[in-house]
Structure 1
Amino acid sequence: CAKRGVAFHHAGLAREDRKKVEKYFKENKLKILVATPTLAAGVNLPARRVIIRDYRRYTDLGYKKIPVLEIKQMMGRAGRPQYDREGEALIIAKNEEEKDMLFEDYINRETERITSKLANPTVMRTHILALIASNYVSDEKSLKNFLRRTFYSFQYSIDKIYDRITGIIDFLEENDLIKDYTATLFGRRVSYLYIDPKTAIIFRDALKEEMTPFGILHTIVSTPDLESLYLRKGEFEEYDSIVLEKEREFLLEIPDYWYEPDRYEFFLSRVKTASLFHDWIEEMDEEELLKKYNIYPGDFYRMRETGDWLLYSFVEIAKLFNYPYRDIQNVRKRLRYGVKEELLPLVRIKNIGRVRARILYNSGIKDMGDVENTDFETLKRLLGEGIARSLKEYRTPQHL
């Protein structure tokens, strides 16, 4: 449909595909763009006419109304400054009753109150630790003086948020991240890694002398820094059986279903997310994997990027506490390329991804030395002339 001037845009698209769509729309090669609200959240992409079909979206808690601020943000895309004197924004009503509701709830209503990101406990924990680790604040008075100048304090006043600040300081001290408003070695490392302090504590408490790939993956997806997949109806038994099968591999406590059913179900959603990553490093076909887990390529790419940083952070925490970390490093490499461990020497080579590496390995070519000892015609037959030629001219980077 792109050839006829129609395309779609959403966060699940691969980054390069989103950029192409945005470029062609700006160049007027695309006349119609079907998009999710994410398009209005940061991409400067005005249009002559914006049509909003739905005012609700599906969440883990069912269908919910889209906030007024988001609807008006989408409407604000109407009108191209260099082309149009005015823009048109339409919101679809299915009947008269719905039309009246849309006027009352969206067209004539003020937007919701903007709130400071510091209201988010994760953000507050991270920033308070950073302030202490960087020696920007050194006691309760200097911390309060700093926060008093924030938008968060302007909204709620420092006195109203004082209990929250005190609670976070107590939390950081109890977990050995700070002592008397001075960051410990652990606290400084966590701050430099820019992960949620809770994530670092999960990593520290999960460390064992021996760790399996699944156990490592489950640990990183159990942190507040990585959003879990939603456990769909009918999937409980599937992932409950994985818990039984891999019970000894988990590095974190398994909740008791009979006493904490809600917590156990949330635990299973993390098992599902770990299974997604595990299937990837076990070389499940990407298209099959995306279909199985009902996830878009762009979303999966972002999850892998986050997972990569969390695995790096897990390695650094393991080093800090003198635990073995090679297993975590290997899982990180495998997650980056989506391969079993045996293919790691091959995916280091330029132009060799998970599919070509498997073809070479199954043909008895297991590392760069084997590639150099394989004749050109064999490589050409396996991978094509262009790739075969590049392999014969390639030298493995010394830093890898």
Structure 2
Amino acid sequence: LAVESSLRTHTLATFAMGYASNTEELLDFFSKTFFGYQQESYALEALLNKIVEFLTEKGFLENGSATEFGKRTSELYIDPMSALILKNAIEVSQEKPSSEFSFLHAITKTSELNKLYLRKKDYDMCIAAADEMEDFLLFPPPSQYSDPWGYEDFLSEIKTTLFFIDWIKERNEDFLLTKYNLAPGDIRSRVEAADWLLYSMDVIARLFGFTKMGEISELRLRVKHGIGEELIHFVGIKGIGRVRARKLYNRFKTIEEIKKASIKEIASVALIGNKLAQSIKAQLGGEEEEVKITKMKQSTLTGF
């Protein structure tokens, strides 16, 4: 709770779950926590008042109750500041061109996603990418002259975005380790966080009736599996991940082509084999079963 982002999250949850309906009840609730015990009462009250003012001003609270935006943010268990960033990103995307780079950069601005450390050799790469994609940025970059620290943080966001771009371009782990100094565990933790944030962005977009939900949902699938858009339907097949999906696509360009192929033809694809080929045919058995994009119903980040 000593971290402001955490305190914002728990303050909103306190209102959303009905444990408080005003600042007096909120103060009484938090004064009973270990964090509250460590604080002077006047300091705790000032801090909570500041957070309540922010939550009210930004549309998370109204008249002592959580709004629909506030409830959904609390259910998603993300920092209200992050929810606001995601909402603002989608709002801006309604009025200007957007791409996968746009939405991936937006989620790097949240506190839930650890940005990549900016090394000296990364500057030229990140500056070039920022200049190239400037028209697709949903947030204006800070000035490198009047706000040098902010600009450096922005370049870290760009580097993190470039990592995700390489990931959905199906770069292998050795490439990512060399370019970004990310081990498999580091890759997985960031992919899981990005998946949850893109899900949160999709939920918020639907709540406010924004368009481009389809783009966000598709991007989420690509980030989850680390694939190009042409492989989305392939990874919906049980037993098929990013590598096998690419092998299948190199032989069969559509699901319909796989349906028409024999087990022997499917099994001849590298990394497939006879047993998996039989499973694929059973799943894609023409009229018996249509392939479906895997539905993802995680309720928490740890549910992945």
TM-score (norm 2): 0.89
Going from structure 1 to structure 2, the CA distance change for 1:137 and 1:274 (only over 3 Å counts) comes to same
* Counterparts of 1:397 and 1:192, CA distance in 2: 31
Is 1:249 aligned to residue 136 of structure 2? yes
Contact 1:220/1:310, CA 8 A, preserved across alignment: yes
Paired residue for 2:233? 345
* Counterparts of 2:79 and 2:162, CA distance in 1: 23
Which structure has the highest strand share of the two? 1
Cα offset for 1:399? 7.4
Cα offset for 1:398? 5.5
Paired residue for 1:388? 277
Alignment deviations for residues 122-180 of structure 1 (CA, whole Å, 9 cap, x no partner): 11000000111112101121111111101011112322222111111111111111123
Which structure has the highest helix share of the two? 2
1:200-211 alignment to 2 at 5 Å? Answer: 200-207=83-90, 208-209=93-94, 210-211=97-98
Paired residue for 1:19? none
Alignment deviations for residues 43-78 of structure 1 (CA, whole Å, 9 cap, x no partner): xxxxxxxxxxxxxxxxxxxxxxxxxxxxxxxxxxxx
Cα offset for 1:344? 0.4
1:354 to 227, 242, 264: 242
One-letter identity of the residue aligned with 1:347: V
Alignment deviations for residues 270-319 of structure 1 (CA, whole Å, 9 cap, x no partner): 11111111111111123212221101111211111111111100001111
Could you list the structure 1 runs, at least 4 aligned residues long, displaced by more than 4 angstroms after superposition. Answer: 395-400
1:281-360 alignment to 2 at 5 Å? Answer: 281-324=168-211, 325-360=213-248
Unpaired runs of at least 5, structure 2:
285-289, 295-304
Is 1:258 aligned to residue 145 of structure 2? yes
Paired residue for 1:174? 57
Unpaired runs of at least 5, structure 1:
1-117
One-letter identity of the residue aligned with 2:67: T
Query: Relative contact order, CA 8 A, sep 6+: which one is greater?
Result: 2
* Counterparts of 2:18 and 2:70, CA distance in 1: 12
TM-score (norm 1): 0.68
Paired residue for 1:57? none
Cα offset for 1:247? 0.6
Paired residue for 1:217? 104
Is 1:277 aligned to residue 164 of structure 2? yes
1:191 to 62, 74, 98: 74
Is 1:374 aligned to residue 261 of structure 2? yes
Going from structure 1 to structure 2, the CA distance change for 1:387 and 1:177 (only over 3 Å counts) comes to same
Q: What is the number of equivalent residue pairs in this alignment?
A: 282
Question: Between the two proteins, what is the percent identity of the paired residues?
Answer: 37
Which one has the largest radius of gyration? 1
SS at match of 2:144: coil
1:47-62 alignment to 2 at 5 Å? Answer: none
Contact 2:23/2:48, CA 8 A, preserved across alignment: no
* Counterparts of 1:231 and 1:386, CA distance in 2: 46
